[in-house]
A and B are shown apart, each in its own frame.
Chain A
Amino acid sequence: MEKQSDLLLDIQHLHTAYRLQGKFYDAADDINLTLKRDEILAIVGESGCGKSTIASSIIGLYDHKNTKVTGDILYNELNLVGLNESLFNKIRGDKIGMIFQDPLASLNPLMRVGDQVAETLYYHTDMDEKARHARVIELFNQVGMPRPEEMYEMYPHELSGGLRQRVVIAMAIACKPEVIIADEPTTALDVTIQAQILDLLEDIQRQSHSGIILITHDLGVVAETADEVAVMYAGQIVEKSDVKTIFENPLHPYTRSLLNSMPQSDDTDEDLHVIKGTVPSLKNMPRSGDRFAARIPWIPASAHEVEPRVHEVAPGHWVRCTCWKTFHFEDEDSTQKATAASGE
């Protein structure tokens, strides 16, 4: 029993499709992920690659008319896909907490922040008003808010960005959820505040032994906090591994390109690496073949699989397609090819 509950979320063959002009397009395409207890799973990728789609599919917050979700999201053997709304309401906020990117947009501007956190407790616990108040103060202390009694009475606009995000986190962890989904929790914050919020998330996880899905585009944040990393491109997971492998031995061309385009070298005269082309839009996404192939045109088509699948190249290290075996950056090419490319 103990062993079984180590696995918190088991996502299998998840497809989430959005309706655009009458047709459904997969924004998340065949996602397989697992989240264990005591684990921070980071999902990285650029905008439009389907990171947040996965989050909204797990938590069931999507437009049910125009979204089609298939596959399985197993939470303790309960399938969250197609779960009825009243059951979902019991789980959402109680067993699965969510932290959104923009704290100002996820707080009610007309309600005192303390009451907003207490509201979660009202729906999910049978505490009386006094106990709820006490619990909110306790939570505010836990997320490191100064003068919690005073903060309880504040409205969102009276708080700074860092404090607002702490309120949102307090709300997410109010019922001690087993799964916390953090969708770009620090993107709107300054670096020093970002560091504090990430430390806070780690502390919470250590205390409550929950699992966290951290969705971010910031590779630095991933390197600092994550245990497992899934890299996404155009709706698919292209590489999945533990954090050390991703940064020390990245294999998929997209992961390598992304890491290369980070400005961090000391040599400022060197150009940053640019990935050719653009991320395809949902409608124009190639539905067959390697979706990243168009951005690395110098790699011959024969290097790609016809129907790219994920291969386990080392225990726990999954890479989509086989093109990584022959992949090299354009400027690493033989001199003849390099001159041809620069003449473009």
Chain B
Amino acid sequence: MAKEIIQIKDLKVYYPIRSGFWNRITDYVRAVDGVNFSINEGETYGLIGESGSGKSTTGKAIVGVEKVTGGQIMYKGLDVTKASNRKKLDYNKDVQMIFQDSMSSLNPRKRIEDIIAEPIRNFENLTTDQERDRVQDLLDIVGMPSDAIYKYPHEFSGGQRQRIGVARAVATNPKLIVADEPTSALDLSVQAQVLNFMKHIQQQYNIAYLFISHDLGVVKHMSENLAIMHRGRLVELGSREEIYKHPIHIYTKRLLSAIPQVDVEHREEHKKHREQVEKEFEENQGKWYDKDGRVYPLQQVAPKHWVALPEDMAQEAELEEREEKESD
């Protein structure tokens, strides 16, 4: 059985809303509101959601650049939301991040050598020669020419810059990389290249990814398990097969039906299906969300499938799921 590398327990990130004469905190924006999931060693975990769903905030909270309001992030048995534990476990070295916009995440005034060496300098004590070898190795891994170390970020194309971002993230031999929309700014063929490199590196170094994306096609390609986020909470969680073949929550269905399909023959049917799901979503909001519009807690409906449902519906769903399986 695969070992869990990180466990997120009831994670909450709230932003205060200040108003009134004294500018007191009157309410909170619940960006992440009680999220639970865990990532196994060496796997890719997909986190899907639309803009504003809190997926990036979750990622940032895991890396530690966002202040956590409540809940725990368990890594090697310790809660890393506490700075002292982070230090003890070398958490900041083990967990790295790849950002969406490669232009703004690479310092334009530094050469590639310094960009990639920065995390190495932070955590390791290497001589100049050793360090240069290391950077060369890393560039090699992501398929960049060796003369790249003397260049600056603007001299590269978007795909190459994203690969430099990958090389920098891998520099400290991390166990987990949070990849926040790593390819959404890239062209199709370049995206394929970056995804391939990410996969190769994963196999080589047994790295786990938290792959945050809004692109369900890419997540389907990359991850074994995934979670779908809406309004700061998880609406559905499970293995890829379960979620793509037997989606239960109406929001998941809506998201899946909205992906454009490369199937010209059946596009009318696809459109009808989408409209039908959209209608159901509009009409049955109350059924799937509680009276405050909040997503229900997750209920298990199958061995590898959890859905946010009120309890009575969960039992129904479980039965349906089982029947569906038997008829398959």
Contact = CB atoms under 8 A, between A and B. Distances in A.
Given A191-B216, A224-B261, 5 more contacts: A192-B50, A263-B222, A268-B221, A274-B189, A275-B189
B188 A247 contact: no
B221 A264 contact: yes
Interface stretch (B14-22, B105-113, B127-135, B266-274): B266-274
Interface string B254-289: 110111111111010011001100000000000000
Interface stretch (B4-12, B32-40, B172-180, B191-199): B191-199
A47 interface: yes
B259 A191 contact: yes
Contact of B196 (A161, A274, A278, A279): A274
A161 B271 CA distance: 22
Interface size class of A (residues with CB under 8 A): 35 or more
A258 B265 contact: no
A244 B264 contact: yes
19 contacts: A46-B188, A46-B189, A190-B50, A191-B214, A194-B260, A195-B258, A223-B262, A224-B267, A224-B270, A244-B265, A258-B189, A263-B195, A264-B220, A264-B262, A272-B196, A273-B192, A274-B192, A274-B193, A275-B192
A192 B189 contact: no
A278 B157 contact: yes
A223 B264 contact: yes
Interface of A: 46-47, 161, 190-192, 194-195, 198-199, 217-221, 223-224, 243-244, 247-248, 257-259, 261-266, 268, 271-275, 278-279
A192 B254 contact: yes
A272 B267 CA distance: 25
Interface of B is mostly: helix
- 6 smallest beta-carbon distances between A and B, as pairs: A220-B260, A263-B221, A272-B192, A261-B192, A46-B187, A190-B50
Given A191-B216, A264-B221, A47 B187 contact: yes
A289 B222 CA distance: 38
Nearest to B195: A272
B218 interface: yes
A207 to B, nearest CB: 17
Contacts of B195: 263, 272
